[in-house]
Structures are given as C-alpha cells and as structure tokens.
Amino acid sequence: MENIDIALIMSDKSYIGREVVVAGWVRTARDSKNMAFLALNDGTTLKHLQIVVNKAEYAGDLSGVMKNGVSVKVSGKVVPALKEGDVEVNADKIELLGDCPADYPLQKKYHSMEFLRTIPALRPRTNTFNAMLRVRSKLSFAIHRFFQENGFTYVHTPIITGSDCEGAGEIFRVTTNTYADALKAKDEDSYILGDFFGRKAGLTVSGQLEGEVAAMAMGKIYTFGPTFRAENSNTPRHAAEFWQVEPEVAFAKLPDIIKIAESMIKYIIKAVLDECPDEIAFFENAFEKGLRDKLQSVVDSEFAILDYADAIEILKKSGQTFQYPVEWGLDLQSEHERYITEQVLGKPVFIINYPKHIKSFYMKQNDDGKTVAATDLLVPGVGEIIGCSEREESYDKLKAAMVERGMNLADYEGYLELRKYGTVPHSGYGLGLERILMYVTGINNIRDVQLFARTAGDLM
C-alpha cells in the first residue's frame, strides 16, 4: 500500500474506517500499561497524527519505535479520536525506518530561535519551521497566481550580472581568478581582463534592469528569484541572499504601480488566511497576538499614502527622541519608518516622492527638480517591504543621473538603449519575500524565515 499524507487523513472524513499506511517522524512517544501512543508528523500538516497501539493485540516489538525523533512506517486503521472531529490510527504494524539516538537535539521542551539557528539541518522539524515553510510556499505560489491571473509574463532575469542596479556597491563578486592570479597581476585592469568574463561580474542585487528590458517588449512582466547583497549590516531584517518579486509594467505611472502593489499584497495575504488557517493560529499563539485580525484588516482596508515631506514634518513634530536625525533630504531609518507606520497610522503606508539624491539613478525625476516618483511600502513591525518607482524614461535625464553618480556608462549600454528606441513611461517594484513572510508570521528575525539563514559571517 502507498503512504498517505497525514494532512489528507486528518482533513478528509472518508478515511475513517480505512486501512492506511503513513510514514513520518515520531514527535512524542507515550507508554502506559495497556496502550502506547505515538504523535506522528510527516510534514504535510502542522498537526500530529496519533498512533494508538493496543499492546494486548499488538504482535511486534515496540521498544525501538517509542522514541522521540525516530522515523517509522505505520499500517493501521483510521478511527475517530476521543476529541470531537479528530481521527487517530489504530496500529497493526510499526516499522522502524531510522533510529534516533538520545543525543537528538530536538527534545520535547522549549527551544529558543537562537538555539535552533545552531542546528539548521534539524530545525525544519519544529512546528515553527513546519508552519513557516508551508506559509512561504503558499505565499510564493499566490504571488505567481496573482501575476499570472493579471496578464503578466514570468521572466527569469540573470543571476550573474555586470551591473549594480541599486548602485550601493553591495555586490558579491563572481570570479574564477585565484589568489595566485591576484599576486601575479600587474594591475586591476589586467586582473579583471584575465577573469572568466573579461570584465567585472557579480551576483545580481535586483532583476530590475533586465526586467525593464523584458517589459519594453512584453509589456507586463515579473521576475521572482534570489537576489544577493553583501550588506554587512547585522540587523534582523537584512539577509545576504533573499528572494525578491519584481514586476515591471510598461505605460504605468507611479499611481498605477501603487495600485498593483496594493492589490498584490491583499491578494497574497488573503491567500495565506484562506489556505493556512492552522499555521496562522499557531503563529498568533507563539509569536504575535492579534495576528489574524491584523492580516484581515490589511485585506479589508485601504493603505495610506504619505508624502516624504509630510512624513518628515510628522517625525519632527512627534516629540520623540530618535537615534538618527530627521531632516528633509536624509533617508528614513528603520526607527522613523516604524514610528510612522506603527504609532501614527497603524497600517501599511506608501511613502512617496523621496529626495532624488538618496534614491537610485533610474528613478523618474519629478518636475520640482528635487524629488523622484518613488515609493517605499512600510508595514508595522517590519518597516520597508517594497521599494518601488516610476522609471526615468528620458534618455538625457537618465544619462545625466548616471554621470552625476559616477557610474560607468559602458556597463549600462543596453539599458540606455531602451530610452533611445521607443521609450515609454514604465514602473515597477521589488517586494522582499522574507520581509512579507516576517509580517505574515510575526517571526521577527529574517534568519528564521529562510531554510538556511544567509547573513554576514554565517554560512551553515
């Protein structure tokens, strides 16, 4: 007989009375005089299936399977459990697949998230990671669904690039040069020329520039994949490798792309509420009181839109003491973002029209000569989850912005050509998957919403 997912057995009443085979890991084992009980988890649901052994009728040897962490295969009959609505399995046979010695680090007790980070290969077997990984999967699939249902083409932008989209120099270098090559090199130019591509290469920080190329042909595209930043900031919100969703829309202006971003966030949060009720209940209990209501209100209410200049005024008049200064022209720090979205508005907010010199070269310059048509979406608890802008479509203005920033125009030749040949207004954004996952689960460290955390000084 084939194994049946525990998720199916526990949700589909037609299994009651049927003989089944299930396989999984024992979470807890409890023995009494006449009966033995195993809580079995196979990863398909947060719930454990109770395996019941009537010792008087059971022929096999139970000693090897009555242990936390062992993997087993169980044959038996599905029956209603004592608790209304639940089912359990009366075991005829339990086969030990893999033993688990007593030094198994996941004993039945509370483990801190910090401790779990030291056992990356085993932490997926906790309820927290079981729930997080399933929500991450559902969220990702909902993102695809949203764009597919709205006429976007999914494109795969390259991981290895020769450009720096955000211009922040946080690039992981890609090279086949060796230490010996470096010692032999006369100068940097010859060192780079002798490298695999014959020019500087790196891991992409954003698929945007190549996404714009695709959008200038396909109209509406999105890319969804890993991006990399050698960001040496040790914060709970920055990872060196993270997933980004980046739509790019031809003919869209800033208000149009804001509407798309808002609908997408609502769509994907609603999907998680509908598809992961057990997981959200778990996170509500373990990580964030009021989580479900918070998410429901995001789906139901309109996001706020606030001009950067007004945000600065609000911060100045707040009477708060911030660690970082507040002044028109300075970037908003996490503490400022959180004050506005948590204390002032209590809901997601698009901050629009940032000063141009604190933002990237590609952003559309507003007529005031000072600001750009850019927005960040901030949410309570996390801060920025989306970076968004209308793109500068004028060849001359774009080129000037690049020259002003000392960029090497040769690296962006193709990108500039888009403005020369049939340029159109267009806009796009990047949503950090881990950031929205933190918001949706209440998990407050980015290291705990990735299967393997990728942060500076930490590669497990």
> Which residues make up the interface to Mg ion (CB under 5 A)?
387
181 or 331, CB closer to Mg ion? 331
Please, which residues have CB within 8 angstroms of residue 369's CB and are 6 or more apart in sequence?
Answer: none
The residue range among 9-17, 174-182, 279-287, 432-440 that interacts with ligand 4AD, by the rule CB under 6 A, is 432-440
239 or 265, CB closer to ligand 4AD? 239
Quickly list DSSP for 131-194.
HHHHHHHHHHHHHHHHHHHTTPEE----SEES--TT-S--PPB-----HHHHHH-SSHHHHHHT
**Binder of residue 220, out of Mg ion, ligand 4AD, none (CB less than 5 to 8 A by kind):** none
Pairing of strands 349-355, 304-307: parallel
The residue range among 263-271, 311-319, 409-417, 426-434 that interacts with ligand 4AD, by the rule CB under 6 A, is 426-434
- Among residues 70, 249, 312, 386, the one that binds ligand 4AD under rule CB under 6 A: 386
Degrees to nearest 5, angle at CA 434 with 428 and 437: 105
67 or 229, CB closer to Mg ion? 229
* Other Cβ atoms closer than 10 A to 182: 11
Q: 329: phi > 0 → left, psi -120 to 50 → alpha, else beta; which? A: left
202 or 432, CB closer to ligand 4AD? 432
Please, which residues have CB within 8 angstroms of residue 322's CB and are 6 or more apart in sequence?
Answer: 315, 333, 335, 336, 339
Compose the 207-246 pattern: x for residues touching ligand 4AD by CB under 6 A, - for all others.
Answer: -x--------------------x-x------xx--x-x-x
Calpha distance 247→155 (Å, rounded): 10
Q: How far is the CB of 387 from Mg ion (least distance, A)?
A: 3
Look at residue 419 and give its three-state secondary structure: helix
The reply to whether 387 sits near ligand 4AD by the rule CB under 6 A is: yes
Count of residues near ligand 4AD by CB under 6 A? 23
Calpha distance 358→137 (Å, rounded): 34
> Both tokens of residue 372?
């750009």
CA 361 centroid distance within chain: 26
**Binder of residue 201, out of Mg ion, ligand 4AD, none (CB less than 5 to 8 A by kind):** none
The residue range among 110-118, 149-157, 345-353, 422-430 that interacts with ligand 4AD, by the rule CB under 6 A, is 422-430
**Binder of residue 429, out of ligand 4AD, Mg ion, none (CB less than 5 to 8 A by kind):** ligand 4AD
The residue range among 305-313, 325-333, 334-342, 427-435 that interacts with ligand 4AD, by the rule CB under 6 A, is 427-435
Look at residue 354 and give its three-state secondary structure: strand
Q: How far is the CB of 140 from ligand 4AD (least distance, A)?
A: 15
243 or 287, CB closer to ligand 4AD? 243
Contact at 8 Å (CB) between 398 and 418? no
The residue whose Cβ lies closest to ligand 4AD is 387
Please, which residues have CB within 8 angstroms of residue 249's CB and are 6 or more apart in sequence?
Answer: 215, 219, 220, 256, 257, 260, 426, 427, 428
The reply to whether 130 sits near ligand 4AD by the rule CB under 6 A is: no
Q: How far is the CB of 90 from ligand 4AD (least distance, A)?
A: 48
Calpha distance 211→205 (Å, rounded): 13
5 or 231, CB closer to Mg ion? 231
Amino acid at 56: A
Q: How far is the CB of 238 from ligand 4AD (least distance, A)?
A: 4
By residue count, the chain amounts to 460
- Dihedral angle sign, alpha carbons of residues 195, 198, 200, 203: negative
Compose the 154-183 pattern: x for residues touching ligand 4AD by CB under 6 A, - for all others.
Answer: -----------xx-----------------
Q: How far is the CB of 441 from ligand 4AD (least distance, A)?
A: 15
> Both tokens of residue 455?
């942060």
The reply to whether 385 sits near ligand 4AD by the rule CB under 6 A is: yes
265 or 295, CB closer to ligand 4AD? 265
With CA atoms as reference, report the closest residue to 133 among 433, 456, 458. 433
Compose the 245-284 pattern: x for residues touching ligand 4AD by CB under 6 A, - for all others.
Answer: -x--------------------------------------
Residues that bind ligand 4AD (CB under 6 A): 165-166, 206, 208, 229, 231, 238-239, 242, 244, 246, 384-388, 428-430, 432, 434-435, 446
